[in-house]
Amino acid sequence: MVSGTDYGKVTSDIVRQLSEIVGEKNVLTGDDRMNYNKDEAPRAKTYLPDVVVKPGDTASVCRILKLAEDNHIPVTPRGAGTGLSGGAVPILGGISLSSERMKRILEVDEANFSATTEPGVTLVELCAAVEAKGLYYPLYPGEKLATIGGNVSTNAGGMRAVKYGVTRNFVLGLEAVLASGEVVRTGGKYFKCSTAYDLTQLLIGSEGTLAFVTEITVRLITPPGVREILFIPFRSLSDAIGCVPAILKAGILPVGLEFMEKDVIDMYEKYSGKKIPMHDYAAYLMVIIESENEDAFINISERIEDVATKNGAVDIFVAGSEAARANLLEAREKFHAVVTQNGLLDIADVVVPRSKVAEYVQKAKQIGRENGISIIAHGHAGDGNVHLEIMGDAATIDQKKEKETLIKLFEAGVGMGGTISGEHGIGYTKKGYLPLASSPEKLQLMRRIKLAFDPHNIMNPGKVV
Amino acid sequence: MVSGTDYGKVTSDIVRQLSEIVGEKNVLTGDDRMNYNKDEAPRAKTYLPDVVVKPGDTASVCRILKLAEDNHIPVTPRGAGTGLSGGAVPILGGISLSSERMKRILEVDEANFSATTEPGVTLVELCAAVEAKGLYYPLYPGEKLATIGGNVSTNAGGMRAVKYGVTRNFVLGLEAVLASGEVVRTGGKYFKCSTAYDLTQLLIGSEGTLAFVTEITVRLITPPGVREILFIPFRSLSDAIGCVPAILKAGILPVGLEFMEKDVIDMYEKYSGKKIPMHDYAAYLMVIIESENEDAFINISERIEDVATKNGAVDIFVAGSEAARANLLEAREKFHAVVTQNGLLDIADVVVPRSKVAEYVQKAKQIGRENGISIIAHGHAGDGNVHLEIMGDAATIDQKKEKETLIKLFEAGVGMGGTISGEHGIGYTKKGYLPLASSPEKLQLMRRIKLAFDPHNIMNPGKVV
């Protein structure tokens, strides 16, 4: 964003006013602010907010934002801090506005298949509440401790996107507070709407740069009868990825279709001390299936086996037990922790058209080799979202080379008709790369939209656009 | 929109420049402009554009808009003119910008399950092209001759929304031209994206007030093996609608769930000369089903029969043949034509949370009775979208009373947590009612967003916001 580096200071009088709004114990100005100085972006610098404020309701959020607006103080919205692009990091100081006290699940509406929550509710809490009523929130961005507010901010995707899509597809309505302190309500318990601009969708994925979301209504569905995982080894990555369109073209719609190579499996086994079945092959597809009942599952798995065998699969492993499923899912979910221990320097999550995944992974590895940088690629074969871990020694890495490599990875993805982030978001760590995916005209348009919401640029400044 | 009634005139010099851009035969200034002076909104006034312009490509659209912008001439985008809210009607004269020559289907991508078209392609043309490649575009807004550009502009919904959602859920990317003549490309052949603001979603449903859409990429799926319709009579409307949550809660997901009352059936039979099965009951559910194969259909229909019988259904009719299905679907689709012949004064398509449909329909009829105005209600029970036809004699109707009735219908819907249009859009015929569904703050925000796209308010002025 262009405007305003001349932000106001968080004076003792501002702190006093914030304390009046939310109570003294919900305003942090000491060392405890350290818990708000970073997120999970690898190797990112820390930035201490001048003050952490924890509102408990929408009215407090309005007053806080009005105060910040009047005094031109930067406000950085924060959920659980599990983001990977620095979106929740207060890079200009000011106020870290935490949703941690806004944790009420306001309603699970069984007749309308919807749930309404405050933004600080975690994914695991939401899922438990709706399952208790016999309903299901099927999205699974992987990080259970992330907040729903954070999921909305980044349009979180995850491993069940092939069938269910992403957060955007399950949010029905929002309440959000603008920088001015004005409250805007969007959408409702309906998904058919042709009543002026869809502000719900515009707010989703805007990473707190347009407004602070105070209430979220999501769509629910009925739960599947059977969940199962197939683990399918192949002799090469291109065999594995080449099998994906064949599965989908056969009219089979798994919940998720993940790919991984042997290096990922090896690293996980070493990290966890656990063994992954059939761990000696070059590449794998993990097919996550949800079906109505056991018969339907058998039908689907037989058809997948048929298609996979015709397309180079060496074998098929059906998890078959909760423990085996958990082991396989963990290998996928814990991978971020695994690479973090093994010298993760940076992470990207380029998305390309599904048919380009194999070509893109090959290209990414070639880019790595040409630049002397080790790259691990794995991710969502069914939806084209490729996670790229840039590995190395932080002390000795040639940072210019590293940055050039990242640019080449993004350019290659965009060149194949993709874009630079499928689910992690832009935050500030990827902001410099956004022009690789957006024309100058489009960037200017987005900046004008930003100013329509937030004319003085106090909402998460320095992020996204 | 507030600004600018001082629009520029379409001079002979402007016409000459337009002719240079698109060729003389694609610029209309004579009586043939009459075909562009209205849409299908009932009883709406006609407005003649000063000039109709038919670009054949994006570059021409850029030049036309730049010329309009430089001369501050209103531009009204137009597809097939099948809208119901006057969105395509040039109420301030100026340029009617028709997509009728932009009819190329640019690609059906079998590997990525996507199709890319120009905006003037009709729904029936798109469906034929993708079916020829063994794929399926499942949305069915009812009007087959509508253009895809028009579907995008109004976020068209229709009868298959219960399972598939609305246009918004199937558009992956757009190319659009701003008032400045700048081209913006959004999205692509992927649905997972967390790369700054989602302009695709913002453009969808904006009814041509933000930009002129020149290219559309939609998501496709594999076709169902079996399509079938169940027609279920009930002794009362509340029985019929009360059955809907029970069907959905049983984990059954039909493609569509329509409700209608006897008055609708009677009127259709008289109009068409055809008979509807079991036409003597008070109310009906039409359950549209798509399933993978015959076995799956039998399973679903047995379960629906079981649930429906327990919830007041008198009988169940399975269409069973293409002719019977067509007859039932026609009764639903042709209803707009039927009521138009029978004294349709106005139409609204309020959406309420699904659980409120029965209560809302009762309330709507009560409002009609109290105001001495006849109202027919029918529509989408599965998604809460209720179509309200206001019937009467245009010559004798008390117009003040009619408007008051409409306001009460909208207020009742909004009061139940709904909004004023589920799929028809706001255009100019419903623009005056938008404040019933949007707070002043939200309206102002939408107007600022409009100005971020179109600072001189030339794009479809007088519409939506």
CB within 8 Å: B194 and A245: no
Question: Which strand (E) or helix (H) includes residue A114?
Answer: strand A114-117
For residue A255, the 8-state DSSP code is: S
Mutate to test the interface with B, among A106, A109, A195 (most CBs of B within 10 A): A195
Q: How far apart are CA B159 and CA B136, in angstroms?
A: 16
pLDDT for the residue numbered B333: 84
CB within 8 Å: B198 and A201: yes
pLDDT for the residue numbered A294: 92
Nearest residue in B to A179, CA atom: B445
In the numeric block, the tokens 């090896």 are attached to A266
Count contacts between A and B (CB, < 8 Å): 256
Cβ-Cβ contacts under 8 Å, A452 against chain B: 445, 448-449, 451-452
**What number of residues does chain A have?**
465
In tens digits, what is the pLDDT along chain A, a chain of 465 residues? 444 568 999 999 999 999 999 999 999 999 999 999 999 999 888 999 999 999 999 999 999 999 999 999 999 999 999 999 999 999 999 999 999 999 999 999 999 999 999 999 999 999 999 999 999 999 999 888 999 999 999 999 999 999 999 999 999 999 999 999 999 999 999 999 999 999 999 999 999 999 999 999 999 999 999 999 999 999 999 999 999 989 999 989 999 999 999 988 999 999 999 999 898 999 999 999 999 889 889 999 999 999 999 999 999 999 999 999 999 988 888 888 899 888 999 999 999 999 999 999 999 999 999 999 999 999 899 999 999 999 999 999 999 999 999 999 999 999 999 999 999 999 999 999 999 999 999 999 999 999 999 999 999 999 999
Helix axis angle for B294-310 and B237-249, nearest 10°, is 130
CB within 8 Å: A154 and B442: no
Q: Which two tokens stand for residue B430?
A: 């419903």
CB A197 within 8 A of CB A281: no
Q: What is the interface pTM, i.e. ipTM, of the complex?
A: 0.97
pLDDT for the residue numbered B2: 40
Chain B residues 179-208 within an 8 A CB cutoff of chain A: 182-186, 188-199, 201-202, 204-206
* Beta bridge pairs of residue A258: A286, A380
Q: How far apart are CA A244 and CA A382, in angstroms?
A: 7
CB B333 within 8 A of CB B370: no
pLDDT by residue (tens digit) across A161-170?
999 999 999 9
In the numeric block, the tokens 């916001």 are attached to B465
**Closest listed residue to residue A195, CA positions, set B420, B407, B443:** B420
CB A95 within 8 A of CB A68: yes
Residues 6 or more apart in contact with residue B270 via CB below 8 angstroms: none
Give me the sign of the Cα torsion angle A128, A131, A133, A139.
Answer: positive
Q: Which two tokens stand for residue A314?
A: 């060496």
In the numeric block, the tokens 């990429």 are attached to B217
Kindly state whether B419 is in contact with chain A, defined as any CB-CB distance less than 8 angstroms.
Answer: yes
Mutate to test the interface with B, among A62, A154, A155, A192 (most CBs of B within 10 A): A192
pLDDT for the residue numbered A5: 61
Instruction: Specify the pTM.
Output: 0.97
Q: By three-state DSSP, how is residue A315 classified?
A: coil
Mutate to test the interface with A, among B189, B194, B385, B429 (most CBs of A within 10 A): B194
Looking at CA atoms only, how far is residue A222 from chain B in angstroms? 5
pLDDT for the residue numbered B419: 98
pLDDT by residue (tens digit) across A228-245?
999 999 999 999 999 998
Question: Which strand (E) or helix (H) includes residue B284?
Answer: strand B283-291
In the numeric block, the tokens 């309903």 are attached to A135
Cβ-Cβ contacts under 8 Å, A182 against chain B: 441, 445
Within its chain, how far is the Cα of B190 from the centroid? 25
Chain A residues 106-125 within an 8 A CB cutoff of chain B: 109-114
Q: How far apart are CA A241 and CA A362, in angstroms?
A: 11
- Strand ranges (DSSP E) for A235-334? 256-261, 283-291, 317-318
Cβ-Cβ contacts under 8 Å, A184 against chain B: 439, 441-442, 445
In tens digits, what is the pLDDT along chain B, a chain of 465 residues? 444 568 999 999 999 999 999 999 999 999 999 999 999 999 888 999 999 999 999 999 999 999 999 999 999 999 999 999 999 999 999 999 999 999 999 999 999 999 999 999 999 999 999 999 999 999 999 888 999 999 999 999 999 999 999 999 999 999 999 999 999 999 999 999 999 999 999 999 999 999 999 999 999 999 999 999 999 999 999 999 999 989 999 989 999 999 999 988 999 999 999 999 898 999 999 999 999 889 889 999 999 999 999 999 999 999 999 999 999 988 888 888 899 888 999 999 999 999 999 999 999 999 999 999 999 999 899 999 999 999 999 999 999 999 999 999 999 999 999 999 999 999 999 999 999 999 999 999 999 999 999 999 999 999 999
